[in-house]
A and B are shown apart, each in its own frame.
Chain A
Amino acid sequence: MKTLLQTSTALTLFAASTTAAFAADKAAVLTNYSNIAEAKYQDSLTTAKILQSAVEALVASPSAETLDAARTAWIDARVPYQQSEVFRFGNAIVDDWEGKVNAWPLDEGLIDYVDAAYGGPSDENALAALNVVANPTFELSGKTIDASDITPALLEGSLHEADGIEANVATGYHAIEFLLWGQDLNGTDHGAGARAFTDYAAGADCTNGNCDRRGAYLKAATDLLVSDLEWMAAQWATDGDARTALLGDEDAGISAMLTGMGSLSYGEQAGERMRLGLMLNDPEEEHDCFSDNTHNSHYYDGKGVQNVYLGEYTRVNGDVVSGASLSDLVMAVNNDLDAEMRGKLSATMDALGAMKAAADGGFSYDQMLEQGNAEGEALIMGGINGLVDQTQSIERVVTALKLEGIEFEGSDSLDNPSAVFQ
């Protein structure tokens, strides 16, 4: 790791001395972006393996301590993963895979017992209250499914997005989160899910039934997360498909970087994840709703966008991966725009940081969502406004770099020109 760090420091110094020549090198920008992606998925994998060990310890000897350790490991695992979300939009290989690890929101009644207020099957989802933990066999789309053995293959093959419903989330971080915390029944009051460690206890100590099956589910979901992250980290290695695809067409690659930044900032984070939850005053709309970790998820998503522009990522172990960046490319064509972009990214991080600090200080994200809570609304809107504002600058960057010959692609109609005039 030290070698990579020294190399990147040397590259940065080189960039500073010969900005124009260096900045024109799109391949270097794409390589650094791929290095950062690889480091983020490796960090996600490392932290997921720590979670895996903690889950094994919990299932082997359930106690308040082992449950707490598993929860801490889950929260730590989210830090690098959320910073990787900026790679989704724009990189098809990531977007096609992402639903396996971070699908959200979920109808958690598919997996395990839920509170009576959750209700049963809904108009949108007949399987909303299936409860696989309690049912070794069940009907799915007219077929009988044997779930006596809860395996990664069962979760991935039969259950995930069962019946074509996206809310049937059987795998990934949020399924694991539900199994570690349980439902958060505090509404917009302070407090996360309060699952007891005895939900994993053996024999007569077992609460809520089927503790062995619940443990098997938790282990299977965690094993699957680890193998899915292993696969994605490999796609960004030297000859990995994600890296090769990106470097195969430099202009399209730069476009993919900006598409990821803009789509995550605006439609996904500012819109779907933050604004909707706020406008609905609905804690079920929290991204990490069981654990009350939503403030960290939003913060590290924002951080990921900033990482891509600045071409710099601080790893879980403190090492820094850095090198040629979009910022260098923009600086070479429009110094003011680069300053504007950096300023807006930084303003967003200040706003998300204020929201995170408030939540870390005890004013939890679900309290901020409460109807009429002006202070909470201001904190969340600060983040949203920053994200919306920075999207305008990202659009300006797209326009500015287009002068250098970047062509944009990615719409359905461009992929399928025969659709025109049929």
Chain B
Amino acid sequence: MRSTALAFSLILTPFCASADMVDDILDQQILPGMETLASTSTTLARAAKADCRSNSTLMRRAYDDAFDAWMMVSHFRFGPTETDNRAFALSFWPDSRGKIPKALSALVRNQDPVINTPEDFATASIAARGFYAMDYLLYNSEITGASTAEYHCNLFQAITADIANTAQLIHNDWQASYADQLRSPGDRYQTEGEVKQELYKALNTGLQVTADMRLGRPLGTFDKPRPKRAEARRSRRSQRHVALSLQALKPLAIALSVDNVALADKFHLTFAKAHKAVERLDDPIFASVADPADRFRVEALQQLVNDIRAIADTELGPSLGVDPGFNSLDGD
């Protein structure tokens, strides 16, 4: 499907390349990705309804599927994901000040009734909501042990129903209006250039999160590695997230290079290298960062992701004719 679309858009390049570029990214990546996020999240909520024990295979599998789906679209942090802070509610990470265990423990300790209705739970701290709270709750004996079975069960159902609701709202907004805003600039985006800049920023932000946070945070420094900072390490998803993010970002980089064959080739090559490196790693939670003899593998992977970033910065921006713009990672 993708190769057909790509070939088709190449044929039309001289006439309306960028319009096809945006359509391709919407139709091949964003819209199906958001649909999968919504459907897998609904399945997760149903699984929690059917079996809400923390060791439930059904719920754990559904959690993995829905979290995978989020990883495939989590770099599209604009428009529908930002309305009502939805992406924050799905994914509060990194949690550098340990807010997730504090928030979950407080709910459990107080048997807080805020979990009783979806409306109330939507006002709860984002530290107690979304996929990263699930990571903690599914695989952390301290919190699961302190909870009464009934409250614990209700908490799983509240979190998963909230995830499903949020994912559905994002999907609905993309379908109902936001895709059209990208296809026909004039309102939120005044020009096609602004649409391209938004998509370019999504690629850059995704690469930055993977290099600096998913890999950089656990790496820490040689003298002070921080393996406990690995993303979603309780459900052993840290390495998987790097692989999924590369898998999600590659087609975006290629699609944005549709008018520049040489650049697209460079992305094919560098993404393939990074992907091979992450596949070979066999270190699900980046425990090796604490081993002076072994951490170079994770460092090398980070370098490969930074190589891709460099190409995006120095070549893709100018090729698209857009500036880097600002993203949520600017600042401290």
Binding site for B on A (CB under 8 A): 89, 105, 122-124, 163-164, 167, 262-269, 271-272, 275-276, 279-282, 284, 371-372, 388, 391, 394-396, 398-399, 402, 408, 411-414, 416-417, 419-422
Top-10 shortest CB links A-B: A268-B331, A267-B330, A413-B310, A267-B331, A263-B330, A262-B326, A279-B126, A420-B310, A372-B123, A413-B313
Residues in chain B near residue A416, CB distance under 8 A: 310
Task: Kindly provide the distance from the CB of B226 to the nearest chain A CB, expressed in whole angstroms.
Answer: 8
Identity of the chain B residue whose Cβ is nearest the Cβ of A98 in the assembled complex: B332
Residues in chain A near residue B193, CB distance under 8 A: 399
List residues of B (190-235) whose CB comes within 8 Å of A's CBs: 190, 193-194, 197, 221, 224, 228
B328: contacting residue among A271, A402, A421, CB under 8 A: A271
Task: Kindly provide the distance from the CB of B212 to the nearest chain A CB, expressed in whole angstroms.
Answer: 9
Given A264-B331, A419-B307, A419-B310, 16 other A-B residues pairs in contact with their CB atoms under 8 A: A105-B97, A123-B98, A262-B325, A262-B330, A263-B326, A267-B330, A267-B331, A271-B331, A279-B92, A391-B326, A395-B325, A399-B322, A408-B324, A414-B313, A420-B311, A420-B314
Beyond A89-B331, A272-B331, A422-B307, is A280–B127 a contact (Cβ under 8 Å)?
yes
Task: Kindly provide the distance from the CB of B10 to the nearest chain A CB, expressed in whole angstroms.
Answer: 25
Asked whether, in the complex, the Cβ of B98 is within 8 Å of the Cβ of A122, the reply is yes
List residues of B (305-330) whose CB comes within 8 Å of A's CBs: 306-307, 309-311, 313-314, 322-330
Task: Kindly provide the distance from the CB of A124 to the nearest chain B CB, expressed in whole angstroms.
Answer: 7
Binding site for A on B (CB under 8 A): 82, 85, 88-89, 92, 96-99, 103, 114, 120, 123-127, 190, 193-194, 197, 221, 224, 228, 303, 306-307, 309-311, 313-314, 322-332
Asked whether, in the complex, the Cβ of A268 is within 8 Å of the Cβ of B125, the reply is no
Asked whether, in the complex, the Cβ of B314 is within 8 Å of the Cβ of A419, the reply is no
Asked whether, in the complex, the Cβ of A371 is within 8 Å of the Cβ of B114, the reply is yes
Bound together, the chains give a CA A272 to CA B224 distance in angstroms of: 25
Asked whether, in the complex, the Cβ of B331 is within 8 Å of the Cβ of A371, the reply is no
Bound together, the chains give a CA A160 to CA B301 distance in angstroms of: 32
Task: Kindly provide the distance from the CB of B100 to the nearest chain A CB, expressed in whole angstroms.
Answer: 10
22 A-B pairs within 8 Å (CB atoms) are namely: A89-B330, A89-B331, A124-B96, A124-B97, A267-B330, A267-B331, A275-B88, A280-B127, A281-B125, A282-B127, A371-B114, A372-B123, A398-B325, A399-B193, A399-B322, A402-B323, A411-B324, A412-B309, A414-B314, A417-B314, A419-B303, A419-B306
Task: Kindly provide the distance from the CB of B312 to the nearest chain A CB, expressed in whole angstroms.
Answer: 8
Task: Kindly provide the distance from the CB of A329 to the nearest chain B CB, expressed in whole angstroms.
Answer: 16
Residue pairs across A and B with CB atoms within 8 Å: the count is: 114
Task: Kindly provide the distance from the CB of B223 to the nearest chain A CB, expressed in whole angstroms.
Answer: 8
Task: Kindly provide the distance from the CB of A368 to the nearest chain B CB, expressed in whole angstroms.
Answer: 13
Residues in chain B near residue A265, CB distance under 8 A: 326
Bound together, the chains give a CA A262 to CA B326 distance in angstroms of: 6
Asked whether, in the complex, the Cβ of A164 is within 8 Å of the Cβ of B224, the reply is yes
Residues in chain B near residue A391, CB distance under 8 A: 326
Residues in chain A near residue B332, CB distance under 8 A: 268, 272
Task: Kindly provide the distance from the CB of B15 to the nearest chain A CB, expressed in whole angstroms.
Answer: 24
Asked whether, in the complex, the Cβ of B327 is within 8 Å of the Cβ of A421, the reply is no
Identity of the chain A residue whose Cβ is nearest the Cβ of B103 in the assembled complex: A280
Task: Kindly provide the distance from the CB of A299 to the nearest chain B CB, expressed in whole angstroms.
Answer: 18
Asked whether, in the complex, the Cβ of B97 is within 8 Å of the Cβ of A411, the reply is no
Task: Kindly provide the distance from the CB of A150 to the nearest chain B CB, expressed in whole angstroms.
Answer: 26
Bound together, the chains give a CA A267 to CA B197 distance in angstroms of: 17
Q: Among A265, A388, A416, A420, which residue has the most Cβ atoms of chain B within 10 A?
A: A420
Task: Kindly provide the distance from the CB of A274 to the nearest chain B CB, expressed in whole angstroms.
Answer: 11
Asked whether, in the complex, the Cβ of A267 is within 8 Å of the Cβ of B314, the reply is no
Residues in chain B near residue A408, CB distance under 8 A: 323-324
Task: Kindly provide the distance from the CB of B17 to the nearest chain A CB, expressed in whole angstroms.
Answer: 20
Residues in chain A near residue B82, CB distance under 8 A: 388
Bound together, the chains give a CA A419 to CA B313 distance in angstroms of: 12
Task: Kindly provide the distance from the CB of B55 to the nearest chain A CB, expressed in whole angstroms.
Answer: 25
Asked whether, in the complex, the Cβ of A411 is within 8 Å of the Cβ of B313, the reply is yes
Identity of the chain A residue whose Cβ is nearest the Cβ of B100 in the assembled complex: A280
Residues in chain A near residue B309, CB distance under 8 A: 411-413
Asked whether, in the complex, the Cβ of B307 is within 8 Å of the Cβ of A267, the reply is no
Task: Kindly provide the distance from the CB of A256 to the nearest chain B CB, expressed in whole angstroms.
Answer: 13
Residues in chain A near residue B303, CB distance under 8 A: 419, 422
Bound together, the chains give a CA A272 to CA B310 distance in angstroms of: 26
Asked whether, in the complex, the Cβ of B124 is within 8 Å of the Cβ of A398, the reply is no
Bound together, the chains give a CA A11 to CA B99 distance in angstroms of: 52
B326: contacting residue among A122, A267, A421, CB under 8 A: A267
Identity of the chain A residue whose Cβ is nearest the Cβ of B211 in the assembled complex: A412
Bound together, the chains give a CA A267 to CA B329 distance in angstroms of: 5
Asked whether, in the complex, the Cβ of A395 is within 8 Å of the Cβ of B331, the reply is no
Bound together, the chains give a CA A25 to CA B53 distance in angstroms of: 68
Residues in chain B near residue A282, CB distance under 8 A: 99, 125, 127
Residues in chain B near residue A422, CB distance under 8 A: 303, 307
Asked whether, in the complex, the Cβ of B85 is within 8 Å of the Cβ of A275, the reply is yes
Identity of the chain A residue whose Cβ is nearest the Cβ of B310 in the assembled complex: A413
Identity of the chain B residue whose Cβ is nearest the Cβ of A255 in the assembled complex: B323
Asked whether, in the complex, the Cβ of B97 is within 8 Å of the Cβ of A396, the reply is no
Q: Among B120, B221, B228, B313, which residue has the most Cβ atoms of chain A within 10 A?
A: B313
Asked whether, in the complex, the Cβ of A124 is within 8 Å of the Cβ of B85, the reply is no
Residues in chain B near residue A266, CB distance under 8 A: 326-328, 330-331
A421: contacting residue among B120, B190, B307, CB under 8 A: B307
Residues in chain B near residue A163, CB distance under 8 A: 224
Bound together, the chains give a CA A54 to CA B114 distance in angstroms of: 46
Bound together, the chains give a CA A122 to CA B102 distance in angstroms of: 12
Bound together, the chains give a CA A169 to CA B63 distance in angstroms of: 38
Beyond A89-B331, A266-B326, A266-B330, is A279–B123 a contact (Cβ under 8 Å)?
no
Residues in chain A near residue B125, CB distance under 8 A: 279-282, 371
Identity of the chain B residue whose Cβ is nearest the Cβ of A270 in the assembled complex: B328
Residues in chain A near residue B329, CB distance under 8 A: 267
Residues in chain A near residue B328, CB distance under 8 A: 266-267, 271
Residues in chain A near residue B103, CB distance under 8 A: 280
Task: Kindly provide the distance from the CB of B305 to the nearest chain A CB, expressed in whole angstroms.
Answer: 11
Beyond A394-B326, A420-B311, is A164–B331 a contact (Cβ under 8 Å)?
no
Task: Kindly provide the distance from the CB of B273 to the nearest chain A CB, expressed in whole angstroms.
Answer: 10
Residues in chain B near residue A421, CB distance under 8 A: 307
Residues in chain A near residue B85, CB distance under 8 A: 275, 279
Task: Kindly provide the distance from the CB of B83 to the nearest chain A CB, expressed in whole angstroms.
Answer: 11
Residues in chain A near residue B114, CB distance under 8 A: 371
Bound together, the chains give a CA A371 to CA B297 distance in angstroms of: 44
Task: Kindly provide the distance from the CB of B124 to the nearest chain A CB, expressed in whole angstroms.
Answer: 6
Task: Kindly provide the distance from the CB of A201 to the nearest chain B CB, expressed in whole angstroms.
Answer: 33
Asked whether, in the complex, the Cβ of B330 is within 8 Å of the Cβ of A268, the reply is yes
Task: Kindly provide the distance from the CB of A180 to the nearest chain B CB, expressed in whole angstroms.
Answer: 23
Bound together, the chains give a CA A279 to CA B166 distance in angstroms of: 15
Task: Kindly provide the distance from the CB of A105 to the nearest chain B CB, expressed in whole angstroms.
Answer: 7
Bound together, the chains give a CA A163 to CA B322 distance in angstroms of: 41
